[in-house]
Every structure is written in C-alpha cells, then in structure tokens.
Structure 1
Amino acid sequence: MILTDRLRSIGAGVRLWFTPARVREEGTTPDYRFSLANERTFLAWLRTGLALVGGGFAVDQFLPRLHDVLRTTCTVVLLVGGALCAVRAVNHWVRCERAMRRGEDLPASRFPAVLAVAVGLLAAAMVVLVAIGWTR
C-alpha cells in the first residue's frame, strides 16, 4: 500500500514535468524574478549534464589505449551522470516552482554533493590511470 502511494506520487510529479501549466494551478504567483532564477538553475543543471555526456564521449574517443573495461566504465559513469543531471534538473525545477507558489521553503537536495564527490573521484581515478599509463 505504501509503495503504491509512493509510485502514484512519483507519477504525479513526473506528469508535472510535461504539463508545467498545471504547476500554476497551485498557490499564488511568485515574483517573476524567482521563477526566472529557478529556470536559470534548471538550465545550469542541463549544461552540467551535457558536459558530463561530452566528457563520457571524450574518454571513449581520446583514451583508446586505456584498458577497455576501465574506459567503458568511466564512459558509462559519465554518460549516466549526465542523464541523471538532466532528470534531476527538471524534477528540481518543478519542486522549487511548487514550493515558491505555496510559500514553502525550497526543497533541499543531496544531489549536488553526491555529484561533486562522484565527479571528483572519477577525475582522480582518471588522472592516476593516465599517469601510470594503464594500457592494454
């Protein structure tokens, strides 16, 4: 029962991604500057996602001598990270817009910290792998 309710809640949230006009049905309209700032944040997250996707393709194309398993792992991690950033961007945009309209605190998220740690660890691993010249 709890799982079913949770899935319905997630489904309702995802539907809002594709019908942003429905967000306006809640609460009162915030100062437009806050909505525009929320949109700029959304776009920044999309740029971050695109950069991660580009990094994934760069690893695959420009480190051909890196062991296949390592190259593929790093590529997939970056591509998945880019996809997660894109999904997180739209989800966070909707959550923030709804909170502003309701007069609530903006939602907190661990995603930026998790992403920063993951990218930092992956970058450090890549530096080590390139420095030691781990090739086939």
Structure 2
Amino acid sequence: MTEPNVERHVDPGHDPDYRFTLANERTFLAWIRTALGLIAGGVAVAQLLPPFSVPWGRHALATLLVAAGAVMAVASVRRWQQVQRAMRAEEALPPTRLPAALAAFLVVACVAILVVVLIGRP
C-alpha cells in the first residue's frame, strides 16, 4: 500500500526558505488586521455615532467601510497565494496594487467624511 500524497494541496516547485514563507504570512496577517480594522470601523460608525445631518450618511459610510474590509480580506488572501507561488517557482514577486488602492480608498473616505461634516454645520 502506498502512502497518500500529503502534499497534494501544496503548490508545485521548490520549498522556499521558511523565513520567507513566515514573512509572507506576517504580511498577510497585517493585511487581515487592516481589513478587520475597516470592518470594525464600519460597525462603530453604524452603532456608536449619532445620526449625521445627511440622513443616509452614517449608514453609507458604515457600509463603505465594511465592504472595503471584505474586499481587503479577499485581496490579501489572493496576494498571499501569488507571493507563495512565486517563491516556490523561484520567480520575481508579482507587483501589487493593494497599498495604492487602500490609500486611494482612504482619501476618498476622508473627503466624503469632510463633506458630510461640513454640510452638517449650522
């Protein structure tokens, strides 16, 4: 009887240095923390802030933050897999747009918050 292939779910290629694999996991966890922060921020906006002068503003902002957190979580898993595959194949790491996308989202969210706050001023 042959042993079952325990590594059938592992990407083909060479095992990278464990330090690089662990660094890739730490980076993934940092992106997941960012995603959780966005989700927690959305929940806090929905549950803890008083209503904005724009009736739908609070719920729109909360929805935007939670959705961004979900997108960030999915993108971080995808990025972790791409980097792991590249390391196993001894290829160059693929480029990423995650930092730029997150920064752009935060700028748009800040501008939206400023507009809502300034509209609500007497």
- TM-score band, normalised by the shorter chain? 0.7 to 0.9
Structure 2 unaligned blocks of 5 or more: 1-6
Displacement of 1:129 in angstroms is 2.1
Structure with larger Rg: 2
Deviates more, 1:122-131 or 1:84-93: 122-131
CA RMSD for the aligned pairs? 2.0
Partner of 1:59: 45
1:52–1:62 CA distance, 2 compared to 1 (3 A): same
Q: Which amino acid aligns with 2:46?
A: D
Q: Secondary structure at the match of 1:22?
A: coil
TM-score, normalising length: structure 2? 0.83
Q: Secondary structure at the match of 1:23?
A: coil
Q: Which amino acid aligns with 1:40?
A: R
Displacement of 1:71 in angstroms is 1.4
Q: How many residues align?
A: 115
Q: 2:99 aligns with which of 106, 112, 116?
A: 112
2:49 equivalent to 1:70: no
Q: 1:84 aligns with which of 54, 58, 71?
A: 71
Partner of 2:34: 48
Identical-residue share of aligned pairs (%): 46
TM-score, normalising length: structure 1? 0.75
